Structure 1
Amino acid sequence: MNYKESDLPGIGKKFVLQTRSGDKVVVIVHDDGRRELYHFEYEDPDHSISMVTLDDDEARFLSAIVGGVTYKPRALESIEVALDDLVIEWYRLEPGHRCVGRTIGELDIRARSGATVIAVIDKNHNKHINPGPELILQADSMVVAAGEREQHRQFKEILRNGCG
């Protein structure tokens, strides 16, 4: 997944998402609350093939649906479990993440974020339950971490940028 954000002076903000499946989606959030969603062709990523305009209420309702607020697929029910303030989340390590090729200990994840890595599942399905500091993080692995929301925010920053 590739994500870019840019300011559009006098208009609002532009968000570009290149999905893992190859789709390109652009969302423009206007200062007046309108949202425009654009979908682009695979072969010509500069040619929009569809566009939807939403007002603020419609955009918030759609985000609740997409974000799983109104319905969570059964397969995802175990991915996020909230126990008071404790949250368990799963993160796929993208090849461009700076944590790839580094150990859990090198990144000093627990001390820097407060989150705890409770499992790592490699691309080849090898499972590392309660991994130690010597485990090297690999691209396309799934990392399962426990912590509070703010700890997860810091943890994601460490995964993406190698720093907190």
Structure 2
Amino acid sequence: MNFRECDLPGIGKKFVLKTRSGDKLAIIVHDDGRRELYHFEYDDPDQSISMVTLDDDEARYISAIIGGVTYKPRSLESIEVALDDLIIEWYRIEPGYECIGRTIGELDIRARSGVTIIAVIEKNHTKHLSPGPELKLTSDSIVVAAGEREQHKQFRQILRNGCG
């Protein structure tokens, strides 16, 4: 993937991506929160063939969908998105894990591992975005967490054993 970004003084920022499949996508993030997405012709990379305008809430919701926060394809056993040293991983709370029935606060996850829990999606599809320390972890939930590789190792131990 080829990626460029540039400032648009008085407007915001422009991001241009060329995907591995050959698509060209331009995204303009306006200072007022609006986003404009442009898709370009294969044969004429300067000719836009479609444009979508999103407000801030719409853009954030779509980014969650694309980023896999709201749905993880079943064929993927584990997903990892690396942003420099930051890794976002999805964990299934398997039956028998010691963390089941305990709250995020009781487990003291952030202090003990350093990861930040971004979301918890329960078996019944209830979503908890940016959950607080009072949220109890339940069997078969999906926990989305961000941190560095070593922090994730510690976090896995806390989920499995209830301790670090």
TM-score by length of 2: 0.53
Q: Does 1:91 align with 2:119?
A: no
State the Cα deviation string for residues 97-119 of structure 1 (Å, max 9, x = none): 00000000000000000011100
Separation of aligned partners in 1, 2:81 and 2:157: 21
Equivalent AA in structure 2 for residue 149 of structure 1 = R
Structure 1 residue 79: Cα displacement: 3.3
Supply the RMSD in Å over aligned alpha carbons: 2.1
State the Cα deviation string for residues 115-144 of structure 1 (Å, max 9, x = none): 111000000000000000000000000000
Structure 1 residue 95: Cα displacement: 1.2
Runs of 5+ in structure 2 lacking a partner? Answer: 1-72
Separation of aligned partners in 2, 1:114 and 1:106: 15
Equivalent AA in structure 1 for residue 129 of structure 2 = I
Partner residue, 2:117: 117
Separation of aligned partners in 1, 2:91 and 2:83: 19
Separation of aligned partners in 1, 2:81 and 2:160: 23
State the Cα deviation string for residues 1-20 of structure 1 (Å, max 9, x = none): xxxxxxxxxxxxxxxxxxxx
Q: How many residue pairs are counted as aligned between the two chains?
A: 92
Aligned with 1:81: secondary structure?
strand
Partner residue, 1:103: 103
Separation of aligned partners in 2, 1:96 and 1:114: 24
Partner residue, 2:136: 136
Separation of aligned partners in 1, 2:104 and 2:143: 11
Separation of aligned partners in 1, 2:96 and 2:103: 16
State the Cα deviation string for residues 67-100 of structure 1 (Å, max 9, x = none): xxxxxx9x75x93210000000000001100000
User: What is the correspondence of 1:1-164 to structure 2 with a 5 Å cutoff?
Assistant: 76=76, 79-164=79-164
Aligned with 1:160: secondary structure?
helix
Equivalent AA in structure 1 for residue 112 of structure 2 = R
Aligned with 1:102: secondary structure?
coil
Equivalent AA in structure 2 for residue 137 of structure 1 = L
Larger radius of gyration: 2
Equivalent AA in structure 1 for residue 79 of structure 2 = I
Q: Identical aligned pairs, as a percentage? A: 79
Runs of 5+ in structure 1 lacking a partner? Answer: 1-72
Separation of aligned partners in 2, 1:87 and 1:138: 23
Separation of aligned partners in 1, 2:135 and 2:119: 11
Separation of aligned partners in 1, 2:109 and 2:85: 19
